[in-house]
Structure formats: structure tokens, C-alpha cells
Amino acid sequence: MSIQQEKIKELVERRATARMGGGQKRIDAQHQKGKLTARERLSILLDEGSFEEFDMFVRHRCTNFGMEKTRFDGDGVVTGMGTIDGRLVYVSAQDFTVSGGSMSETMAQKICKVMDMAVRNGAPFIGLNDSGGARIQEGICSLAGYGEIFERNILASGVIPQISGIFGPCAGGAVYSPALTDFTIMIKDTSYMFLTGPGVVKTVTGEEVTQEELGGASIHATKSGVAHFAADSEEEGLQTIKDIFSFLPSNNKEEAPFAETSDPAGRADDSLNDIIPDNPNKAYDMYKVIGSIIDDGKFLEVHSSWAKNIIIGFARMNGRSVGIVANQPNFLAGVLDINASRKAARFVRFCDAFNIPLVTLVDVPGFLCGTQQEYGGIITNGAKLLYAYGEATVPKVTVTLRKSYGGAHITMSCKQLRGDINYAWPSANIAVMGAEGAVEILYSKEIKAIENPVAQAQAAEDRKKEYNDLFCNPYNAASYGYIDDVIEPRNTRFRVIRALEQLAGKKQENPWKKHDNLPL
């Protein structure tokens, strides 16, 4: 065998060893936990044969605590580039079989390298997390590595899409990288996120809590809103990442990919003419409206289990990606509260950053009242959503279905926040408040002065009718040009698509600024 052949043989063997991570025993342990390895995850996520790995032979340089005796090629993270549906992406996948996936200085350098490449080349970055945290043996160098990653998350924000998959532990400082990215997917029963674990919590507060109760996928998907999606399996989680990616452009200078559809743009739906109940206090399901107007009824909902009084997600209309924001009358009457405002504001800003038009379906009775909301900062949090709509320069089409009252009317993409096309159904009530509250304020003394109870009740009803006739309809707003047209509900899909096509060439810029000062 020639020297060249020996060197090639060494390369092949070393590559094979590197692909085994921490070795077969640790791979088996990973599988016994119901988890895939880093490379198995990437093989599912990326197009077959498209993955090109970088820095396979990088090793840590730590000599503390006998670490020089244990070195693995790759050092606990697999990084590189590949394609999803033929589109370029950059990826990192932490390898729990090597030192528990703990973050070392060299691991951070590997991750930062592909993040830098992603920004330079205008391609999304996807990070798969499965790590025991900072590599304690490396001390401050490990923490510095996290800081380098966070800085890149920040600089890449709004430039390229960033998606995080949590496929195992993600604790301590490690949680901040996913928190800085655009979407976070967790896996039920096998992944968790928290700043301090159950042991520390018990020591500091005396509270006994399990890992799942403290930071499991279900908790973060329903209570904290940290997780945008909670999948039942790793395969489902990886498919969710691919589904999200399909709606997004590769960077902030491009448009989202077009998808052919056989769903006619002019399709009408007669059921929408009957969906609004006669009783204004009766709920209906906004999902039925969304499903009716989008292509083929296919809707990728974001944050489906958190702040359910507002619905957000991606769909297509005549083949083009849109972001849907809709109040949900079926949950808390569709009222805006702290969590709903935060949820929708972040989504609106994401869509605006990546050139995805916004379609807003409005049925909102107002902001939720009470001390809990006021003490929690409903004013500041509500302002986040108002701010997000007001600064957005993408096409914005708004349809008011029923209630649109007070400050919530303004917040939900009204004409004064530069809504491009604002439609209303004939059932729309656009006013400062509902008739009952208005009459109570305007005519309470007059009505109470009537001694006869029957006459008093009739006077109240007469005043409510007067107020309804004046304000609780779409025509008063339309008379001022605040509503561009009152449309028949059955034609909503056609009218929205035509509006979006009209706005396809929209160009609008905000005044120059170093950055804004969003009310955080």
C-alpha cells in the first residue's frame, strides 16, 4: 500500500469514527431514552445526500481535570450546510453522545462559523439543541462561547430566519439562544428548558418540582409561550421545522416561495354568510373562517396552545405565503390581553421582517380589564401589538367581521396604522364601545329619572337602538373612508386575494433610525 493510499485509508477510518460520536454504547443509551442522534436528526431534516459537514475533525483544547485524555473528533456538535426542498440552509446539531453535548469553546466556534456563513450567504440557520449545558471544565471559555453565539443570534435577527429545535435538555444560559431565534420547537416528554433545574429551585425556594413540570414542552407551549410548537415525536418536530421553512423566504431581501394551488382564487363560500350569530354575545369559531378563505384549508398555526384568544399562523392565498392574525371569539370572546398582545406582536414583526403580507381578521370586544392585567402591564403589552402593526410596511389587509371596539379597534391593523385595504362584513360593529356600555355612560341619569320600570326599560332599548344605528355598523366608518368597502362574507377569499395582488408591488419605508424603541 502506497503512502497516499495509507493516508486515504486513515481519512476514511477517521471519518467513520467521527460519525460515531461518543461511540456505540452512548448511541445505544441515546436510543434507549427515545432520542435520535445528531446525525440521525439531520438525515431526516435535510434532503437526502445534501448534507456537507464542516469541522468534522475539530477537537477541544482543554487540559483541565484530565480533559486532555478524552478528545473526540467533532467535539459534541455536528455543523454544516444542506438543503430542504432544494433550498440552502445551515445547520448545527448538538451531539449528546459526546460529553453530554456540553458547550465547549471549540463547539461554540463551530456553531458561530456556520451562523456567519448563513448571514453572508443569505440562508436560514437551524439549530438542534441537545446539551447538558456549559462544559464546566472549561470555565469562562464555555460562557464566552455562549456569548459569541448569542451575539450572532442578535445580529442575524430579521436578516435570516432562525429556527431552534429542542430535542433534549437545554438549561442555564443555553436557553437564551433559542429565545433569541424566531421559532422554537420542543418535543414532549424528552426535551426541557429552564434557567435553573429542580435541584436548585428546591434549594433556593423550597419548591419541589419535576423537570417536566418546570420546563417541559407542554408547559412552555401552554403556560409560558417559550415554545411555539410542541411535537409528539422527534420526527414530527423535524417535519414541523420543514413546514415552517416552506412558508419563509431565505432572507429579508427575498420573497417567500410560491406554491401552485388548484384552489380557485374566486371560490365563494356561502356558509360565511351565516356564520355570525344574531346574538352579539354568542361565540363562533374563527378557525372556520380562516379555513374557508385560505388555499386548500391548510393552516400552520403558531402558538396553538398559548393565548388562544388570538390565532396566528401561516397559510397561502392563491399560492403566496401570508401571515394570519385573527381574534378567536370562541375563547375569552376574542379579547386582547397581555399574552395575546405579545403573541401577535412578535408574529407581526416577524412577518414584516421577512416580507410576508399580513391578513388580519377582527372580532375584538376590547382589552381585558382587571387588576391582574393592569398590574401585569397590559398598557405596555398592548402597545407592543399596536406598535408592531404601525411600523409594519408589508401589505396589510384587514377584514372586520363583527366587533371592533375602542383601543382594540385601533390596535388590530386599522386604517390609521397604515392598513392598506380595510374591509368589513355587514355584521361589523366599529365603535368606541358596544351600545350597552355607551348608553350606560351617555344616558344613565336620563333613564334612571324615569320612574315607571317598563318605560325605563323601553327608554334604554330606544337609546341602544339609536346608538347602534349611528355607530354599531360598518357604514359610519366607511363614510369617513376608514373602511374601504363593505363586502359580502361569501366573497372574502376573492376580495382578500385581489387586494394582496394589488399590493404585491407595495413600497413603503419608515424614517431612518438607528433602531426603534419598542415598548418592551
What letter does residue 35 receive in the DSSP assignment? -
Dihedral sign (CA 218, 221, 226, 232): positive
Of 118, 227, 256, 408, the active-site residue reads 408
Distance CA(491)–CA(189), nearest Å, equals 44
Of 74, 100, 172, 334, the active-site residue reads 172
Active site residue 173: yes
Q: Compute the chain's Rg from CA coordinates.
A: 27
Of 291, 319, 407, 437, the active-site residue reads 407
State in Å, rounded, how far the first CA of the chain is from the last one.
Answer: 67
By CB atoms closer than 10 A (0-12, 13-18, 19+), residue 164 is buried
> Quick one: the chain helix, strand, coil %, rounded to 5?
45, 20, 35
Stretch (H or E) spanning 147? helix 140-156
Find all residues with CB under 8 Å of 488, minimum gap 6, and list them. 273, 425, 426
Stretch (H or E) spanning 282? none
Grid coordinates standing for 431?
365603535
List the one residue out of 468, 414, 464 whose CA is nearest residue 436: 464
Of 122, 158, 173, 377, the active-site residue reads 173
* Chain-centroid distance, C-alpha 149: 21
The owner of cell 454504547 is 25
Distance CA(188)–CA(166), nearest Å, equals 10
Q: Where are the alpha helices (DSSP H) in 363-434?
A: 371-375, 378-391, 406-411
The count of C-alpha atoms lying within 13 angstroms of the C-alpha of 190, restricted to the half-sphere facing its C-beta, is 22
Active site residue 21: no
What letter does residue 287 receive in the DSSP assignment? H
> 237-263 burial, b for 16+ CB within 10 Å, e for fewer?
bbebbbebbbbbbbbeeeebbeeebee
Distance CA(232)–CA(236), nearest Å, equals 7
Active site residue 34: no
Active site residue 334: no
Distance CA(321)–CA(258), nearest Å, equals 7
Give a three-class secondary structure readout of 217-276.
HHHHHHHHCCCCEEECCHHHHHHHHHHHHHCCCCCCCCCCCCCCCCCCCCCCCHHHHHCC
Known catalytic residues are 172-173, 407-408
